[in-house]
Every structure is written in C-alpha cells, then in structure tokens.
Amino acid sequence: MRIAASTYLNSAPLVQSFATNAFGARYLFLGDAAPSRCAAMLAAKQADIALIPVIEYQRIPNLLVIPNVAVAAKRQVRSVLLAARKPLPDVTTLALDTSSRTSQALVQIILAERYGVKPHLIEHTPRLNAAFALGEADAALFIGDPALCLTTQAEALGLTIYDLAEEWQSLTGLPFVFAVWAVRAESLTVEPSQLVRDFLEAKAEGLRRVPDIAAQFAAELSLPLPDLLNYLHVNVNYDLDEANRTGLERYYELAATHGLIEAAHPVRFLTA
C-alpha cells in the first residue's frame, strides 16, 4: 500500500519506520514536506494511506482513521504559530501558509471566536524568512519546521507570537489534533488488524528513536538539540485518546459553524 506523509519534524516519529522500509513490501513510502499535498495525493488516489491534516477527513470521501495514532498537542505545540505586527483584534489581513488546511481553519476559528475578527486572507508557500512570509499582511500563519525557526526572528522584526494549540486550549479547554493517519476504505490490501498493528508498532519505534530524530533535525534546522528533544517529548502528543478525540470533534463543530466545512461528519475508525 502507498503511504504519503509529511517529512516535517513533528511527523518524523510516525513515519520513520515506513521511510526506512521496516515493513518490507507491504508499504511504499511517498514523502512530501507539505501535509496538504499528502492529502491531495490521497484524494487523487495516488496514495492509499496518508497522514492528513484533520480538516481533510471532512472533505475526502470514504476514509477510515487508524486508531490510537495522531499528531496532537495537549497545550503548546511550538510548530503552529501566528506571528502578528498588531494586536489580534486589529488584524485585517492574514497570510496563510498553504502547508496545512487544518491550521488555516484553526487560525480563522480562533480569530473569530476569541478576537472577533475576520481578516482578508492571502496564501503563501512555506518560508523560513518571516519578513518575506508576512509581506504586507498584519499577521501570518507558520507551520512545521519554518515555525520552529520563527522565534529566532520574531524579536528583531517586532512580532508577537501566538501558539495556536495554546490559543485553542484557552478557547475550548481541550487538546488539539492536527493530523491523523487515514486510509481509503476501498484500497485496503492489508488485513485491518495487521495494518493497525503495523502503525502502532511504527509509532512505538519512532518514539524510541526520538533522540536520533532530534539530532538529525537539529543539524538540518540549526536549532539546539535540547529544544527539539523537548518539542518531541513534551509539545507533540502522538495519541488519539479520549481527550484528543473530544478536541477533534469540537474543532469539526466550530469549522462547520464558521463555514469552513459543509458539515461535521462523525469520524469512522478502521477496526482491527
């Protein structure tokens, strides 16, 4: 089965085993930096399984979610950030990173629900340079590895940084789920029980490999190793427990309320 997943640091523990062909011929790994492109591959039937931004579950038909695995945050996440030149109630233009439609919807929900604003939206591709990403906008959304590098630039540019998982927690009192593994129901060529075992095993192995993963990305991103270890151990949560599922359901409800999805359909899980 063909697997598409982001190659950002936050997903690395979940994809490491597939990227290194740990399961042999059962899976073919297709890596891409942008979670939104992985969802597009799933929608176009160019992949059978993908680690998708959760909003895409509501937009792509006939998907099943693999249980007990996610990219989530219980409070701060540090890699989904809003950088603003103005106080948020005064923001009228917002630059949106195209990497994840989930985070695009999340920032719109937070700005509307917490700050009473609905800014004009401008999309941009992921950029490490904060000034370039902002352009003339009052605020900009940063996702993934570019967000991790943002804090080193923020003070010099006079930006205020808002962690969107923390903002969501303040709004709802719930964790936030950013991504889940989803499989096209008609594409299953591996027994569901075997597939679930493989993905849980991949998660467990990835979490055991966190020190190696953090060291690799510390070199690639020129960021301190202790910061990335803390990020993977503390900020990112890889479970789809009851609290995370409740947060996901609330997100879908608010996305539907704000017209970001047509309706909040219940999540269907792949059963072993």
Is residue 176 within 8 Å of 247, Cβ to Cβ? yes
Structure tokens at 235: 């900020």
Identical fold between 2-72+177-257 and 80-172: yes
Structure tokens at 53: 């931004």
Is residue 179 within 8 Å of 109, Cβ to Cβ? no
- Per CATH, the number for 2-72+177-257 is 3.40.190.10
Domain ranges of the chain: 2-72+177-257, 80-172
Q: Which residues sit opposite 123 in a β-bridge?
A: 96
pLDDT tens for the chain, 272 residues long, are 999 998 889 999 999 999 988 888 889 998 875 788 899 999 999 999 999 999 999 999 999 999 999 999 999 999 899 999 899 999 999 988 777 789 999 999 999 999 999 999 988 665 545 555 567 788 989 887 778 877 777 777 788 999 999 999 999 999 999 999 999 989 888 899 999 999 999 999 999 999 999 999 999 988 899 999 999 999 999 999 999 999 999 999 999 999 999 999 999 999 86
Q: Which residues sit opposite 65 in a β-bridge?
A: 182, 269
Is residue 91 within 8 Å of 150, Cβ to Cβ? no
CATH architecture of the domain covering 80-172: 3-Layer(aba) Sandwich (3.40)
Q: At what angle do helices 12-19 and 210-221 cross, to 10 degrees?
A: 100
3-class DSSP state for residue 73?
strand
Nearest to 105 by CA among 166, 162, 175, 164: 164
d(CA 124, CA 134): 9
